[in-house]
Amino acid sequence: MEPDSRSQESQAVEAGVSQGCPGFAAALVALCLVSLVSCRSEATGGGGATISLDISPNAVVGQPAVVTVVASDASGAPITDARVEVEGNMRHAGMAPVIAQAAEVSAGRYAASDFVFTMGGDWVVTARVVLPDGTKVEKSIEVPGVSATRGSAR
């Protein structure tokens, strides 16, 4: 309805990130070096297991978000009885990660409903999945521009 104000908002978010984090570029480089290691383990694993990761769209600081993780095998069948942990990190140093356990809500579908972003800005959310056979599989998604405005719903 108001495309103009929407684009201004996203610009404001980007500007806020670079101004608020002087060491942002350095932290990003450090993060990339670390990521090289974890990205490799993500490529394949669990005999072709596929992990998909989704987060409820309205990511707002201080409000629980639902992170849904779907695990399926090479033939597309759901993988049940996996252990799933969700970890959120920001792209700058000095912040504790947010960790939540996900419970299986239907076959191969796991949800963490108490994941709470602790700061506005750009996040990376990682699902750490331990398959029933002990194989570990990871998958990460970017969650940019988490709103710093605390919801007035409560």
Residue 77 tokens read as 């069948």
Token look-up 């495309």 returns 3
Among 119, 124, 130, 141, binds Cu ion (CB under 5 A): 119
Q: Does 95 bind Cu ion (CB under 5 A)?
A: yes
Residue 132 tokens read as 């029933």
Candidates 47-55, 78-86, 91-99, 128-136; binding stretch for Cu ion (CB under 5 A): 91-99
Q: 122, 91 in Cβ contact below 8 A?
A: yes
Shortest CB 118 distance to Cu ion, Å? 7
Shortest CB 152 distance to Cu ion, Å? 22
Q: Does 99 bind Cu ion (CB under 5 A)?
A: no
Element housing 19 (H / E): helix 3-20
Shortest CB 4 distance to Cu ion, Å? 29
Distance between CA atoms of 62 and 81, rounded to whole angstroms? 30
- Local structure of residue 57 (DSSP, 8 states): S
Shortest CB 19 distance to Cu ion, Å? 14
Q: Does 102 bind Cu ion (CB under 5 A)?
A: no
Distance between CA atoms of 79 and 99, rounded to whole angstroms? 22
Candidates 19-27, 53-61, 62-70, 87-95; binding stretch for Cu ion (CB under 5 A): 87-95
How big is the site for Cu ion, counted in residues (CB under 5 A)? 3
Shortest CB 120 distance to Cu ion, Å? 8
Residue 121 tokens read as 């800005």
